[in-house]
Each structure stands twice: as structure tokens, then as C-alpha cells.
Structure 1
Amino acid sequence: MLIVFMNQMSGADESGHLRSAQVWIGEDEGVWRLGWRNIEPDGEVLDDEWYEGNSWNELLRVYRHRLAMKLGEGFRPLIEGIFHEPGESAGKNLGVQKLQCYSELYGSEELYTELCAWRRRKAASGRKAPYFIASNRVLRLISAFVPQTEEELLQLPGIGVSKASEHGVEWLEMTARIQRTTTFPLNWVDAQLQEEVFLSWLYKQKEQKYKQELDRFRIRRTVLLGIAEGVSLTQLEERTSLSRRDLVEELEGLEKEGYDTEQLLQVELDEITDLEQETVWKAFEELGDTFLKPVLQRVYGQSPNGDEAGGTERLYERLRLMRIRFRREEPGKAKVG
């Protein structure tokens, strides 16, 4: 095997003992291999192979994910720059990340729990998804820095004038009951947050990010292979563990990127009569393809009965599949709606 990349890694364990390791990439007759080698103090070598296959793109995603895990455990590279992303951790962004790190490590769990309960009630009463009210990170920041005024609220990343005006009074009612030990402005965080603690937190964020990217890459590959084999959405559900709705969204994304999804569309729409397909097509031409509810009502009536087709959700699925074909074949007729 030809080693095309290797970097020496080192770091101390919880007891302070120095650890050594190597991360490497090799190639052997067109097969890529990726691995990690622990080098014990007594010279013993323990190998852990992370990847073996012919996809360089998959190897890179596995590399980023697994390396982020090791960096989160405290390992650091002998040669710097192997994990740099353009523009990351620079200027204002670095300050925001440190505030987020501090809030997740040292925030008040009691206040955070209270804020989450408030968000659930707010979301239920307004019939909105909780993240539309406030993200977990915003609630973490509030729980850690306990702002007492609207001016202090506005110093937290993710809280603008609109959010402060809409929810600030209720947030401040909760924080007023908490005795805080820190002050505003928050420029003290940079000095108080230990660099190694911050780096470990940062690499944990990377680990989660790269795990999602790897999962998405593998799901997309499975879907594309399934399309080539002529499988159905039901079969893809079993292969990917995604819902039919998520799979249709994946198809829409693939179509936008120029992939050919027609074979799967044909499998799914084969049971729909030519007359029904013509009616749907005409409705798209007349009503536009942005909003599906008017099309649904035009084709299936004001109170559509989708029992035989698997429910109204399945009718919407049919329309979304038909819309993929419509947008590909009649791009000039698509309307904003």
C-alpha cells in the first residue's frame, strides 16, 4: 500500500500522560484506505481502520468526522492547518463561538429548563415550531449570562431588536429571579475560557457537523443507486430509514442539481391514470407550481378524499412528484403563484 498522507498526532490523557498517534491515508490498486494508529508508551501499535473503498469523496467525509472526534478528545497535529476551513474562527465569528461555548458549558440548567418550557407553551399557543420562537443556542446564552435589561439582551448573538421587542419582557421576568455572578459587557469571556476547553468544544461541533454531512452523502448515494435500479419509494424507505416525505424532498433536491430522477417518478406515477396526470398538469399550468393546495383542490375537489390513495398526504406526494416532472419539462410555464 502506498501512503499518500500521514500526520503525527499527540495529546495528554486525563492523567496527564502523553499520547502519540498517526492519522494516515493510503492507496492500494485503486482502493482508498484511511486509518488511525495509536502508539503506546511501550511501543505497542494499535491500528483502527476508518475507511476502505473506492470513493475519495466518502473518504474525505469520514476523515473529517473521525478526525474531529480525535481532536475533541485532545489530540493535536504535529503539522498545523490540516483541519482549517476558509474564514472560520476569525474576528467576530470567533467571539460568537466563544460565547456559545461558555453558555453550553457553564449555563444555568434550571433557567434553561424554564426557558424551554416557556418556548413550548409559546409555540403551542402560536401554532409555530419551537425553533421559530428561539433556538436552543439563544436560550443557552440567556441561561448563562442572565441579562437584566433589553440593552444586555441585545448583546447576545442571535437576539436582534425584533426578538427583544417580541419576547424580551418575558425573558427578563425569568432572569430577574436569578442572581448572576457575571457582568455585561461580555468581553471577559475570552480571557476566562481556557483555550484547550474551547478547542475541544469547537471540535465537538465539527464532529456533529461532519457526521451529518457523511450521513447525507451516504443517503444520497443510496437514493441514486436505488433510482438506477428502478426501486420504489417504499423500498428506499427501507434502505435509508427516511420517511416518504423526506425522500420526495431529496428527489426535489437531486432534480434541482441536475440529476435524472425520471425512473423513480415513472415507478411511482405509473398507477395514476393518464387523465389524472393531464388534469394535474393543466392545473400547474393555470395555477402555478409554487403552492400545492390550490392545485390539490382543483384536481381533487375542495374537500379531497384521499382514502383510496392513502390519504391527503399521499395526494400531496403525487402532486410533488408530478411537479418535479412539470418543472423539468415546462420550466417557462412555472408561475410564482
Structure 2
Amino acid sequence: MQIVFMNRLSKNASSDQELFAQLWIGEEEGVWSLGWKDFSIAEETVDNIWYEGGSWSEMLCVYRHELAVKMGEGYRPLIEGIFHEEDSLPNRNTEHLKLQFYSEQHGNEKIYEELCAWRRGRSSSERKAPYILASNRLLRLLSTFLPYTPEELLQLPGVGQGKAAQYGTDWLAITSAAPREHQFPLSWVHNEIDDESFVSWLYKQKELKYKKQLERLRMRRLLLQGIECGLDMEQLKEECGVSRRDLLEAVEELEKDGYSVEKLIVQELGRMPQNEQEEVWNAYVELGDVFLKPVLYKVYGNEFTAPGGLDLYYERLRLIRIRFRREYTDVSAIAANY
């Protein structure tokens, strides 16, 4: 095996002890290997293999995730920039991240729960997903820094004029009722943060980010293998361990990225009458393919209901839309060449 990359890392275990480790990437006949060797133990060192396989992109994803875990534990590399991506952050983003870090350490749980209760109620009344109204991160910021005025509210990252106008009065009614010991602006936060703890937290955020990327990459591989083997949606759901909705979104992404999912579409639409499929297609031609509800009403009527719910009907609309977009993209590409 040929070693194509290697780096040495160290970690201060105590005031008088430093731990060392080695990270390496190797390649042999198209097979990538990724490993970690810990030199901190007394017995003979053994490579801990993180990845072995033929996919460079999957190996790189595993590399970034596992490295972020180690750096979150306190290891630091001899050679910087080892994530093979842009590590530097604009100063403004760094300040925002410090506010987020501080809010996770010093949040007011009582106010946070009140804000969460507000979000649940507003989400139900507006029929919107909770995260559209406000993310957990934003509620943490609100509960920690407790703005009293609209001007203070706008100093928090994630609060723009639109959000402030829409929900600011509700938020301030909750946050301004709580006593606070600090003031705005929040420039004082910088001096309250331990730099090493903040850096470790940043690597924890990278770990979570790369974990999601890795899960997505592995699901795509399982999905492609399953489609090729003739699995249907329910079997793919069990194989990938995700909901049918998430599965369908992944299928749409695969099609967008140039992979063929026609085998799955044929199987899933096999139980849908051909004339019904044609009506859906014609509705897309007439109404466009951006929104599904108008197409559903066009084909089945405004008062349409189904005993088991509408999920299956929306699934079929989305599968037919994949075909529709594929054909019209191909037609547009041909027309562009003339």
C-alpha cells in the first residue's frame, strides 16, 4: 500500500503529559484506506482502520467526520488545514458563532421553554413547521441574551427585519419579563469565552455536519443498490432506515444528479391506472410543476379525500414529476442546440 497523506497530532492530557497520534490515508489498486494510530498506550501500537473501500468521496467524508471527533477531544495537527476545505471564517461569522457557543453554555431554561411553547402554539395556528418560525439556535440566543427592545432584538444573529416585524412583539413579551445582568451590545461576550473550549466546540459542530454528510452519502449508496435490485419504496425505507418522505427527496436528488431512478418509478406506478397518470401529466403541462396541490385538485377535484390519507397520491405526483422534468429538460437541451 502506498501512503498518500500522513499527519501527526498531539493532545495535552495533563500538565506534564502529551499524547501523540498519527493519521494516514493509503491507496492500493483503487482501494482507499484511512487509519489512525495512537502512540499514547504502552503496548505495541495498532492501526485503527476508519475506512476501507473504493469510494474517494465516502473516504473523505469519513476522514472529516472522524478527524472532527478527535479534534473535538483536544487533538491538534502538526500540519494545519487538514480538513481539505476552507477553514477560515469571516470575523462576523466568528462573532456570531461565539454568541451561539455562549448561549449553549448559559441559556435560561425557563425562558427557553416558554419560547418553545410559543413556537408550538404559533406553528399549530399558522400550520407551519416549527423550524420555519424559529430554530432551536435562535430560541437559545433569545433565552440567553434576553433582548428588551426591538433594537436589541435585531443585534442577534438570525433576526432580520422580517422576522422581527412578524414575531418580535411576541418574543419581547417573553424575554423582557425576565431579569438580566448584562447589557447590549454584546461585545463583552468575547472576553467571557475560553478560547480552547470554543475551538473544541467548533470541531463538535464540524463533527455533526460531517456526520450528516456521511449518512446522506451512505443512504444514496444503499438507495442506488436497492433500486438496481428492484426494491420498492417500502423495502427501500426499511433498508435505508428513513421515512418515505425523506426517501422520496433522496430519489429526487439522485435524478437531479444524473442517476437513473426509472426502475423504481416503473415499479411504484405499476398500480396506478395509465389514464390517471396521463391526467397528472397533462395537469403539469397546464399548471407547471412547482406546486403539487393544484395538480392534485386538477386531477381529483377540490373536495378529494382518501381513507388512508393523501400521502400515496402525493408520492405518485412526485414520481410522475420526476419523469416530467426529465423529459422537458431533455427537450429544452435539444432546442438550445438549434
> By how many angstroms is 1:61 displaced?
0.2
Instruction: Tell me what 1:241 maps to.
Output: 241
For residues 271 and 172 of structure 1, the distance between their equivalents in structure 2, rounded to whole angstroms, comes to 53
Counterpart-to-counterpart distance in 1, 2:14 and 2:173 = 41
Contact 1:284–1:295, Cα closer than 8 Å, also in 2: yes
Q: 1:314 aligns with which of 312, 317, 320?
A: 312
- Structure 1 contact 305–312 (Cα < 8 Å) conserved: yes
Cα offsets for 1:47-68 (capped at 9, x unmatched):
3211111111111000000000
CA distance, structure 2, for counterparts of residue 163 and residue 294 of structure 1: 29
Identity of aligned residues (%): 55
> Could you state the TM-score of these two structures normalised by the residue count of structure 1?
0.90
Write out per-residue CA displacement over residues 206-239 of structure 1, whole angstroms, 9 at most, x where no aligned residue: 0000000000011111112222223211221121
Which amino acid is the alignment partner of residue 243 of structure 2? S
Compared CA separation, residues 278 and 26, structure 1 to 2 (3 A): same
Counterparts of 1:138 and 1:5 in 2: how far apart (Å)? 40
* Aligned ranges 1:202-213 → 2 under 5 Å: 202-213=202-213
CA offsets 1:219-261 (integer angstroms, 9 cap, x no match): 1111122222232112211210122222222222222222221
> What corresponds to 2:165 in structure 1?
165
Give distance in 1, aligned partners of 2:84 and 2:24. Answer: 17
Shift in alpha-carbon separation, 1:16–1:300, aligned structure 2, 3 A: farther
**Structure 2 CA distance, aligned partners of 1:255 and 1:303?**
32
Indicate how the Cα distance of structure 1 residues 101 and 38 shifts in structure 2: closer, same or farther if over 3 A, else same.
Answer: same
Amino acid of the residue matched to residue 257 of structure 1? D
Q: CA RMSD in A?
A: 2.2
1:150-207 CA distances to partner (integer Å, 9 max, x unpaired)? Answer: 2111111111222223333332332233332222211122232121111011011000
Rounded Cα–Cα distance in structure 1 between residues aligned with 2:305 and 2:137? 42
3-state DSSP of counterpart to 2:271:
coil
Return the alpha-carbon distance in structure 2 between the equivalents of residues 271 and 222 of structure 1.
24
Q: Deviation of residue 305 (structure 1)?
A: 5.1
Shift of 1:16: 6.7
Q: 1:159 to 1:311 in 2, by over 3 A?
A: closer
Give the AA of the match of 2:322.
Answer: I
Q: Alignment partner for residue 321 of structure 2, among 323, 327, 337?
A: 323
Tell me if structure 1 keeps the 8 A contact 2:81–2:87. Answer: no
Pair 1:57-2:60 in alignment: no
CA contact (8 A) 1:304 1:312 kept: no
8 A Cα contact 1:5 1:24, kept in partner: yes
TM-score calculated relative to the size of structure 2: 0.90
User: What is the match of residue 101 of structure 1?
Assistant: 101
* Cα distance between partner residues in 2 of 1:49 and 1:131: 38
Gaps of 5+ in 2: 333-338
Aligned to 1:32: 32
1:185 aligned partner:
185
Distance 1:164 1:288 in 2: 34
Q: How many residues align?
A: 331
User: Which residue matches 2:265?
Assistant: 265
1:75, distance to aligned residue in structure 2 (A) = 0.6
1:93 is displaced (CA, Å) by: 1.0
Query: Counterpart of 2:314 in structure 1: which amino acid?
Result: Y
Distance (Å, rounded) in 2 between the aligned partners of 1:249 and 1:205: 25
Distance 2:77 2:138 in 1: 33
Q: Distance in 1 between matches of 2:9 and 2:324?
A: 53
Distance in 2, matches of 1:240 and 1:44, equals: 39
> Any idea what the Cα deviations from partners look like across 1:80-134, whole Å, max 9, x if unmatched?
1213632742221111111111111122222222221222122222222211221
From the superposition, tell whether residues 177 and 212 of structure 1 become closer, same or farther in structure 2 (CA, over 3 Å): same
Matches within 5 A, 1:247-286: 247-286=247-286
Q: Alpha-carbon deviation of 1:272?
A: 2.5
- Verify: 1:147 aligned to 2:139, yes or no: no
CA distance in 2, matches of 1:228, 1:41: 46
